[in-house]
């Protein structure tokens, strides 16, 4: 029979890694809550048109990477490749815009893209994202960036840089796009094949090309931030001033782009050099055109998404581990086992992490198990002790031990082992 295995690009999270994962997820919950964001959970499966309309028909994601299939009723459905489109769909469907604006939402969950397996990328990966919908004020940009900075500060990940840029708006982008095309026109021969195509379809994306030859060409290319209309210019200045007031470090990155048309004004990335080449751990920007593109009223918005897998890679080893086992109880014989069983339950009800060995197993074997579980304390209830109506409690670090009476055992234990 064929051995059953997880699909290529789909990964199990096993004990050890999962605990660290949960710790990051709860850090997300606490931090995003403190900044006034509410959680939203959208389905992983959506109508395909949601993504073709929001991400764009001609992007790599839509053309090659989406898990799209026909549902039983013949309609095309897709496993979500990113989170923002679904959040905006939910915002419109449930008329969240009727609440006082802006609406501040965050999500965390799996996304699906059929990436080439040799790139070492996962096909089910996980993202955390936040969106502020309904407000054009540059203060919202600063608020979102302050959340991003503070979150990463708390993870203990070092060596991160917040890079920002402005992409302009439907007023100043077209003339900039023309300036950019003029610049590349005379250099078309030195660009890679992909960039040759991008020249007509989306010249801004040439700035994003990772190929060395293209990078040399783009170095001197005109920057969008130097071609902003007065409104975009004022907005970008206000964002920088806001970051200065909060003393948040950032650097201006004149060629940071977002590939999609609905992105406007502020674009940003949190990058690291720890994973080899310069890599983004989080990316986002203002998308004042998306709500309208999905059939809603013109509504400004800004958001970001960050990759859980990358965060986990960068997370310092020692951090975000749950406390180890607090108490291991070693009953020797059935009488002791029966006596300790309700004690185990009572301690767990108090939130104390504890475990009990098999009453039929020898002490040596039970102590081995306690060691393997890295128990802070071990309780030994041998026949001799039980006869004397007491148990032994041993501190595994100091090796100090004491006797506790069987009466009021739960209180006695918790008084001794409370962290
Ligand atoms: Zn503009
Ligand atoms: Zn290129």
Q: For 382-407, what is the mean pLDDT? A: 94
Does one domain contain both 341 and 301?
no
How many structural domains are present in the chain?
Answer: 2
User: Are 302 and 341 in the same domain?
Assistant: no
What distance lies between CA 118 and its chain's CA centroid? 23
Mean pLDDT of 105-131: 91
Q: What is the pLDDT of residue 227?
A: 97
The three-state DSSP-derived secondary structure of 236-276 is: HHHHHHHHHHCCCCCEECCCCCCCCCCCEEEEEEEEECCCC
Query: CA triplet 331, 332, 337: central angle to 5 degrees?
Result: 45
Check whether residue 41 and residue 164 sit in a common domain: yes
Helices 48-55 and 84-93: angle between axes, nearest 10 degrees: 110
Ligand closest to Cα of 171 equals 1
Q: Per-residue pLDDT tens for 341-380?
A: 999 999 999 989 999 999 999 999 999 999 999 999 999 9
Same domain, 286 and 338: no
Residues 220-238 have a mean pLDDT of 97
- Residue 61 — pLDDT band, cuts 50, 70, 90? confident
Ligand nearest to the CA of 209: 2
| pLDDT given for residue 63 in this prediction | 78
Please report which ligand is nearest the Cα atom of 203: 2
Distance CA 91, CA 103 (A): 9
**168 and 260, same domain (yes or no):** yes
Q: Taking 90 as the threshold, does the pLDDT of residue 410 lie above it?
A: yes
Q: Indicate if 240 and 301 belong to the same structural domain.
A: yes
Determine, yes or no, domain membership for 190.
no
Answer yes or no: is 192 within a domain: no
Question: How close is the Cα of 232 to the center of ligand 1, in Å?
Answer: 4
Output the pLDDT for position 331.
97
Domain-embedded: residue 234: yes
What residues have their beta carbon closer than 5 A to ion ligand 1? 168-169, 171-172, 229, 232
Among 259, 286, 314, residue at a domain's last position:
314
Q: Are residues 73 and 167 in the same domain?
A: yes
Res 322: pLDDT? 62
Section 291-319 average pLDDT: 90
Same-domain pairing of 409 and 340: yes
pLDDT tens for each residue of 166-217: 999 999 999 999 999 999 999 999 999 989 988 988 899 899 888 889 999 9
Cα of 208 from ligand 2 centre, angstroms: 8
Q: Is the pLDDT of residue 413 over 60?
A: yes
Judge contact between 396 and 372, C-beta under 8 A.
no
pLDDT value for 114: 92
- Domain-embedded: residue 282: yes
pLDDT of 229 reads: 97
Asked whether residue 120 carries a pLDDT value surpassing 80, the answer given is: no
State the pLDDT confidence band at 6, using cuts at 50, 70 and 90.
Answer: very high
User: 185: CA distance to ligand 2 center in Å?
Assistant: 14
Ligand positioned closest to the Cα atom of 224: 1
Domain span holding position 348: 327-417
SS3 string, 285-320, reads: EECCCHHHHCCCCCCCEEEEEEEHHHHHHHCCCCCC
* Statement: residue 291 has pLDDT above 90: yes
- What is the pLDDT at residue 183? 95
Percent of residues, the chain, with pLDDT higher than 70? 97
The domain spanning residue 104 has which CATH number? 3.30.930.10
Tell me what the mean pLDDT of segment 286-307 comes to.
Answer: 94
**If you average pLDDT over residues 133-151, what whole number do you get?**
96
Averaged pLDDT score across all residues of the chain: 92
Distance between alpha carbon 321 and the CA centroid of its chain, in Å?
Answer: 17
pLDDT digits (tens, 9 = 90+) for 62-111: 878 999 999 999 999 999 999 999 999 999 999 999 988 899 999 999 99
| CATH number, domain with residue 411 | 3.40.50.800
Q: What is the pTM of this model?
A: 0.87
319 confidence band (pLDDT: 50, 70, 90): low
Ligand closest to 232 (CA) is 1
Same structural domain, 263 and 369: no
Flag whether 286 is in a domain. Answer: yes
Q: What is the pLDDT of residue 407?
A: 93
Whether residues 291 and 335 fall in one domain: no
In a domain, 111, yes or no: yes
Q: From the CA of 193, how far away is ligand 2's center (Å)?
A: 7
Q: Which residues of 333-350 are buried (b: 16+ CB within 10 A; e: fewer)?
A: eeebbebbeebbebbeee
pLDDT of the residue at 323: 66
State the ligand closest to the CA atom of 167: 1
Q: Where does a domain end: 314, 347, 370?
A: 314
Question: Is the pLDDT confidence value at 265 over 90?
Answer: yes
Is residue 212 one of the residues assigned to a domain? no
Q: Are residues 91 and 40 in the same domain?
A: yes
Assess if residue 404 is contained within a domain: yes
> Phi and psi at residue 107, in whole multiples of 5°?
-140, 155
Distance between Cα 233 and ligand 1 center (Å): 7
The answer on 156 and 117 residing in a single domain is yes
Look at residues 314, 345, 364 and tell me which one is the last residue of a structural domain.
Answer: 314
């Amino acid at each position: 029979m064929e051995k059953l295995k997880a699909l290529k690009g789909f990964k199990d999270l096993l004990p050890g890694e999962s605990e660290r994962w949960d710790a990051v997820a709860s850090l997300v919950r606490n931090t995003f809550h403190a900044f006034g964001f509410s959680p939203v959970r959208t389905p992983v499966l959506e109508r395909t048109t949601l993504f073709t309309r929001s991400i764009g028909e001609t992007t790599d994601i839509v053309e090659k990477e989406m898990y799209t299939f026909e549902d039983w009723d013949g309609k095309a459905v897709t496993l979500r490749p990113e989170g923002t489109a679904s959040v905006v769909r939910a915002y419109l469907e449930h008329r969240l815009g009727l609440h006082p604006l802006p609406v501040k939402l965050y999500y965390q969950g799996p996304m699906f893209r059929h990436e080439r397996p040799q790139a070492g990328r996962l096909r089910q990966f996980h993202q955390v994202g936040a969106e502020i919908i309904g407000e054009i004020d540059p203060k919202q940009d600063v608020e979102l960036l302050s959340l991003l900075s503070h979150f990463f500060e708390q993870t203990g990940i070092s060596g991160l840089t917040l890079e920002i840029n402005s992409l302009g708006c439907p007023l100043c982008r077209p003339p900039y796009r023309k300036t950019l095309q003029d610049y590349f026109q005379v250099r078309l021969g030195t660009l890679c094949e992909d960039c040759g195509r991008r020249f007509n379809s989306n010249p801004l994306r040439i700035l994003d090309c990772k190929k060395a030859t293209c990078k040399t060409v783009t170095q001197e290319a005109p920057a969008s931030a130097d071609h902003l209309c007065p409104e975009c210019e004022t907005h970008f200045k206000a964002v920088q001033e806001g970051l200065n007031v909060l003393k948040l470090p950032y650097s201006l990155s004149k060629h940071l782009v977002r590939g999609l048309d609905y992105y406007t004004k502020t674009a940003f990335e949190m990058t690291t050099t720890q994973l080899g080449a310069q890599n983004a751990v989080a990316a986002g920007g203002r998308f004042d055109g998306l709500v309208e593109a999905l059939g809603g009223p013109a509504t400004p918005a800004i958001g970001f998404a960050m990759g859980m897998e990358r965060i986990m890679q960068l997370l310092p080893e020692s951090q975000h581990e749950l406390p180890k086992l607090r108490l291991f109880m070693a009953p020797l014989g059935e009488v002791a086992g029966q006596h300790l069983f309700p004690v185990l339950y009572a301690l767990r009800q108090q939130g104390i992490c504890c475990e009990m060995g098999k009453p039929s197993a020898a002490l040596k074997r039970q102590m081995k198990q306690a060691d393997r579980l890295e128990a802070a304390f071990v309780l030994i209830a041998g026949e001799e002790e039980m006869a004397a109506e007491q148990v032994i409690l041993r501190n595994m670090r100091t090796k100090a031990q004491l006797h506790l009476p069987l009466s009021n055992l739960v209180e006695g234990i918790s008084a001794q082992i409370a962290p």
